[in-house]
Amino acid sequence: MPTDNTACDVWIVCALAEEAEATTKVIAEQCGVQFTDDYAKQNNKRQYKWTIIKNDVGESLNVRVSWAPGAGPQEMGLHLQALLNEMPARFVGMTGICAGERDKTALGDLIVGERAFLYDQGKVVLNEHGQPVHKHDVETWGPNRDTLQYVRSFDGWKPLVAKLPRRPTRRQQRDWLIDWLLQNPTLSLNDIPDPEIDAHAPNVVQIAQKLPKIFTKKYQLTATYRKINRRFDPAYHDPKASKAHIVPVASGNAVRADNPFAQIQTPIRSAIALEMEGATFYRIVSKDFPGAHSLFVKGVCDYADPEKDDSYHHYAAEASALYMLSFIQKYVTEELMPRPTASHQDASQGETPPRLPADLPKDLPFFTGRDRFIEQIREALADTAGADPPLPIAITALGGEGKTSCAARYCHQYAQNYNAIFWIQAQSKTTLAEGYAAIASRMGLSAATEADQTLVIRAVKHWLESNHDWLMVLDNADDLTIVRDFIPSHYGGHILITSQESAVGDIAHAMELPKLSLEDSALLLLRRAKRISRNRPFDHATTEDKEAALSIAAEVECLPLALDQAGAYIEEAKISPAKYLTEFKSRAAELLKKNGKMSDQARKSVTITFSLAFEKVNTAHPLAGDLLRCCAFLAPSNIPESIFTQSKPEFGDLWLHAANPNFWDEIVSEARRYSLLTRDSENDTLSIHRLVQIVLRDAISETDRRNWANTAINAISYAFPSFEYEFWQSCDQMLPHALACIDRVNRYQIASYEAGILLMETASYLNERAQYVQAEQLYDSTIRILISSVGPEHPDTLSSIAGLAIIYVNQGRYNDAEPLYLQVKEIQERVLGKEHPDTLGSVHNLALLYDNQGRYEEAEPMYLQVTEIWERVLGKEHPDTLSSINNLANLYKNQGRYEEAEPMYLQVKEIRERVLGKEHPNTLSSINNLANLYSDRGRYEEAEPLYLLVKEIQERVLGKEHPDTLSSTNNLAGLYVNQGRYEEAEPLYLLAKEIRERVLGKEHPDTLSSINNLALLYSNQGRYEEAEPLYLRVVSGFEKKLGKNHPWTKIAVRGYVFVLRQLGRAAEADALEARFAD
């Protein structure tokens, strides 16, 4: 019988009485002791059992075991707090059973709680689809670092647990039975020897009765199961030895049988165990009784799914108790955990936080938007505990993103977790050595007085290796190669690094600092500018301030250093955020140099921060510096690497070396140092911060700015793709960079030939995407530049004039287009000759213009002229000749001269099918034209199969979203309308409308044409209420895009007027007619 119950060394608490019973049974059997029942003198007389055992060095330990009066975190919290308040202990353990993830654990495995968290903590909000989403608010608790480090190398539990008889699960029993019968197909379960049944399938009867699809009433395998054999149930294997998983534990308020591991792993991915009390256990001990050590150990008894298996409860509970007993006997000793003296206990009651280093940056009063990242730092540092070898955590990001602020906030927030915190400037070997010397002096090391820095560094590294619960921050370690020599090979504390280096290699585990959200950035600005107090939310600001702050945040791309500077300037200049926004747009480079007079003067301005980083890159690798300078003159995001790797070597050394993949990777790698440039390897693009661009451009002379702008213009001009549909995606990627270069053209008044070509290529693509206003402006500039650089009669100058004419035609501005076509035609006839292909192309364009205007008598002789010359010069089967014949046939069809048009369509179709193939786009165009002719003549039975044929091939070859495919879909719908087959026409019109809105945009003329067709369909069906808003949109869109006098606009107006009259809105119809009257 135990004889001393005056002092408590160890508490073991359990959630269930059966878990406590397993614990006392194991301790009694292993240690040869008996337990005495007792109860707490206070706090509702809570029951417990106690005994005295010996640890591995022969010291006596008073061990007490108790269980909560009910299950769940609340009951455990009240119970544990009451026990420890009355009877404190050196060590507190928790044993029992839990659920494990099926793919990661086996029944009987042990879960050692590295930390624990409440997985159902947080709040439920609605997402953009109105669905509930759980936003986790996860805080974790765990054992102290000494305990956790010891656990990671502890294996004294294995011999004890290995002797524990391990019962097979019902699934294992079933699999063994199936395997036995498959090997003995003529026998039944009744034929299995009893010793084998007892060893492998003690629940044989219950298993067989619950699985009638597998076992017959005579306990043989069913014929169906014999046929599928082993496809679903692999042969039985004896369970392996139990494993101990040192992992995070998820605690909740309910027993789960719905396999919730995907849910609990949302906040912490490595959590593979689930129970109810662990988080509360760790929280109570670590927060309320910091002098005690603690450890959670439970055995896996089920998988938290519908197939609960109670047969493993006893094994799992006893296995966890054996682990805990062996750990206590090894760990709870006077050497590792000395009993506190009375004076120490008194002192601990008023324990103060550890002394912070004098050079630790102040905790910023306006720190905003990074609370979750600070918690992630804590989790990452906890994950490194006990790793072999340990690895520092490196916060990486561009200068000015707030790496130092986050490290300082972590130090202030979690200072109570450390016995000592060291802050070292790590810019160079000199500052690192000085920092280590300061540590030696502060910790009273004998080497502190040594003149030899090597001896000092060695002594400090030895101290770090020999001590625990310290934190060392290496700030601004932008050259990680020099840091390596200062990091000890093993240690029991934490090392946190801040660095602009994006690639940290094997020196540390990188944590990239995420960009501040736009709203958090605006909030930081307003707090720093004192427009709202530091504790007020964003909504407390005025609407004007909020809008201006959001715009400023977008301008500086949410860079905290720039926001801090802006806030200081707003405060000291006594201006509004809106006023600052106006000033920033006009003189950003100047404002980025300014630090507020009342700001921390140790903080560098944005300009100095980026300039220093660039100088380091440029010195180490000049071509990397050139890459950054060139990127400074492009759009900041998604810069295609092909601009450099697939360009002309004569653009400069950068392009010459970029053609070699190995050289290019080296250049990009150097440019990425200090995070000035980022790389998306999956999409082969680069990105640079907008403020880095501003600083780099401002740092060079006006002459150099013009030179780099010219270089960027040349590169983009060469790289810009053709504007055909199949290249639209590439054009979209290149467009922002083309527009950025065009801005440089205007800013520096660049009038080079390459600049003119870039403007023309960009204008051609914008015209294709119906961006007529912007395209027209670019063509005007193109013509001016090309006339200046290569002359008014150069072919490219004439092409740009013709391009402007096409813009006018597309807008229905025929009177503006005609003189341009005539001007181009006159010059080409004079300079190139009347039969030159370019001249004939101009004549052809002029004929198309007259055709569109209904000036058929003028268009026809021009078509005939072009056709005759092309047939003679190029041949009857040349694509240009066929195009001319096709357009002449179109003219005849428009005039109702179907007998003349049909054979021409057939001729072009036959030649294109033979020369180009039946699926070539030009061939399909001919078939489509022929179908249009048949439809116009009422020959619907002949038209329909042609439309269907074209549509099927285009969908297969070009894709369902290609403009040509959509035109065919539209034409087929029109045929159905002409036949009165409205139900078949409507879904086709809707399909064309939906795709065009998505691909071309809601205001593209082709999109508006689809909407007009749908409105006409509804009007024909008498569905005027549905037609009216569609017509309103079409008329408004056509007027904006094409003008009041364009034929398409006038057709839409007529349809809208008719619908308004049918709805009884005659006054509106009259007003509309009057507004669009000639």
Quickly list DSSP for 208-265.
HHH-TTTB-TTS-B-HHHHHHTTSSSPPP-PPPPP-EEEEEEEE-SS---S-THHHHT
- Mean pLDDT of all residues in 907-931: 90
Residue 954 predicted with pLDDT over 70: yes
Per-residue confidence (pLDDT) for residue 351, from 0 to 100? 40
Whole-number pLDDT of residue 309: 61
**462 within 8 A of 486, measured Cβ to Cβ:** no
Indicate left, alpha or beta for 111 from its phi (over 0: left) and psi (-120 to 50: alpha). beta
Amino acid at 353: P
Superfamily (CATH H level) for 1000-1078: Tetratricopeptide repeat domain (1.25.40.10)
DSSP state of 22: H
pLDDT at 1058 (0 to 100): 95
* Residue 158 identity: K
Instruction: Give the residue extent of every domain in the chain.
Output: 10-164+243-338, 170-228, 371-512, 518-603, 617-700, 702-791, 1000-1078
pLDDT at 227 over 50: no
pLDDT tier for residue 623 given thresholds of 50, 70 and 90: very high
41-45, 84-88, 311-315, 766-770: segment of lowest average pLDDT:
41-45
pLDDT, position 123 = 61
CATH T-level fold of 10-164+243-338 = Rossmann fold (3.40.50)
- Strand, coil or helix: what is 124? strand
The closest of 10, 172, 202, 14 to 98, measured between CA atoms, is 14
Is the per-residue pLDDT at 942 higher than 90? yes
Q: How far apart are CA 146 and CA 491, in angstroms?
A: 11
pLDDT at 692 over 90: no
Report residue 594 CA to chain centroid gap: 34
Mean pLDDT of 1023-1052: 88
- Report the chain's mean pLDDT, rounded to a whole number: 83
| CA–CA dist 325, 517 (Å, integer) | 50
Q: Rounded to an integer, what distance in angstroms lies between the CA atom of residue 358 and that of residue 861? A: 93
The pLDDT value recorded for residue 626 is 93
Between 258 and 756, the more confident residue is: 756
Q: Please state which of the ranges 619-628, 675-684, 781-790 shows the lowest mean pLDDT.
A: 675-684
The DSSP symbol for 522 reads H
Q: 595-617, pLDDT tens digit by residue?
A: 544 444 444 567 766 777 788 88
Distance CA 16, CA 69 (A): 8
What burial letters (b/e) apply to 985-1020, b meaning 16+ CB within 10 Å? bbebbebbbebbbebbeebbbbbbbbbbbbbbbbbe
Residue 236 confidence (pLDDT): 42
Tokens describing residue 469: 């619960």
Q: Is the pLDDT of residue 740 over 70?
A: yes
Band (pLDDT 50/70/90 cuts) for residue 442 is confident
Using alpha carbons, select from 227, 212, 229, 218 the residue that is nearest to residue 188.
218
pLDDT in the model for residue 124 = 61
pLDDT of 349 > 90? The answer is no
pLDDT score recorded for residue 235: 45
Q: Are 740 and 717 in contact (CB under 8 A)?
A: no
The reply to whether omega before 921 is within 30° of 0 (cis) is no
State which CATH number among 3.30.830.10, 3.30.465.10, 3.30.1220.10, 3.40.50.300 fits the domain covering 371-512: 3.40.50.300
CA distance 606 to 611: 8
Q: Is it the case that residue 307 has pLDDT exceeding 80?
A: no
| Confidence at 347, pLDDT banded by 50, 70, 90 | very low
List, for residues 859-879, the tens digit of each pLDDT value: 999 999 999 998 888 888 988
The residue ranking higher by pLDDT, 602 or 1045, is 1045
Assign 602 to helix, strand or coil: coil
CA distances to 501, 514, 517, 677 from 638, in Å: 21, 18, 20, 11
Q: How far is the C-alpha of 617 from the C-alpha of 678, rounded, in Å?
A: 14
What's the pLDDT band for 901 if we cut at 50, 70, 90?
Answer: very high
pLDDT band, very low/low/confident/very high, at 451 (cuts 50, 70, 90): confident
The arithmetic mean of pLDDT across residues 725-738, rounded, is 84
User: Which amino acid is located at 21 in the chain?
Assistant: E
Place of tokens 């640890």: 55
Lowest-confidence range among 39-53, 670-684, 962-976, 990-1004?
Answer: 39-53
Closest CA to 154 of 8, 339, 295: 295
pLDDT confidence bin for 449, thresholds 50/70/90: confident
Return the amino acid letter for 630: C
Domain 10-164+243-338 shares a fold with domain 371-512: yes
Using DSSP, state whether 764 is helix, strand or coil: helix
Q: Per-residue confidence at 355, pLDDT binned at 50, 70, 90? A: low
Name the β-bridge partners of 302: 99
pLDDT in tens, 1006-1036: 889 899 999 999 999 999 999 999 999 999 9
pLDDT reading at 813 higher than 70: yes
pLDDT of 346 reads 39
Structure tokens at 552: 């400023």
Task: Give pLDDT, residue 354.
Answer: 46
Quick check: 717 and 686 in contact, CB under 8 A? no
